Amino acid sequence: MNRTPRDRDNEGKARSARPRDGLGRPLPYGVEGVPRQPEGLVRTPPETLVEAQRLLDAGMPFHAHEVLEDAWKSGPEEERELWRGLAQLAVGLTHAARGNARGGAALLARGAGSVASYATSAPSSGLHGVDVEGLTRWAGALTEELRRGDTAVSAADRAPRLRLSP
């Protein structure tokens, strides 16, 4: 069987070289897409939150998810659920903006649950200033909209605020 070779990164791992749009959907080869976030980049928590917020505000939650996923994978064990939850919120918004209401609602609920577990660690500001209360309210409201069948979601217009104050 003649197979087309898979795209690989510099380390030989399978990684699609196809360009992506702002919501992370693959575009045809040769078309200009949105630049991908470098994978495996270790940032400080404030740098991570600033970059993820920039991408969310620009309507690119899939790309914000990649930034948050790096923090989840490289951060200290006691913070991993927070970063994973934030990444799930971003990918939940991605699904909602792509019109996948069911998947969006599921990921928003899961992400909110992970983030909410950090409310007791520092109730006034959350870990790294993350607005735990605001994010769980935002995710709950958007989840309910999606479950009611409201599927016209603009990623940029519905971007959450990750921190209480930037």
The per-residue b/e assignment along 60-77, b for 16 or more CB within 10 angstroms, e otherwise, is: bbbbbbbbbbbbbeebee
Specify the pLDDT at position 149: 87
Q: What is the DSSP letter of 11?
A: T
User: Which fold is adopted by the domain 45-148?
Assistant: Hyaluronidase domain-like (1.10.3450)
Residue 24 and residue 62 in contact, taking contact as beta carbons nearer than 8 Å: yes
Of the listed ranges 8-22, 49-63, 122-136, the one predicted with least confidence: 8-22
Decide if pLDDT at 123 tops 50: no
Specify the pLDDT at position 124: 44
Q: Which of 138, 136, 147, 144 is nearest to 113 (CA)?
A: 136
Specify the pLDDT at position 37: 79
Which of the four pLDDT bands, split at 50, 70 and 90, describes residue 166? Answer: low
SS3 label, residue 44: coil
Domain ranges of the chain: 45-148
Which tens digits make up the pLDDT trace of 47-79? 999 999 999 999 999 999 999 999 999 989 999
The model carries a pTM of: 0.85
Decide if pLDDT at 6 tops 80: no
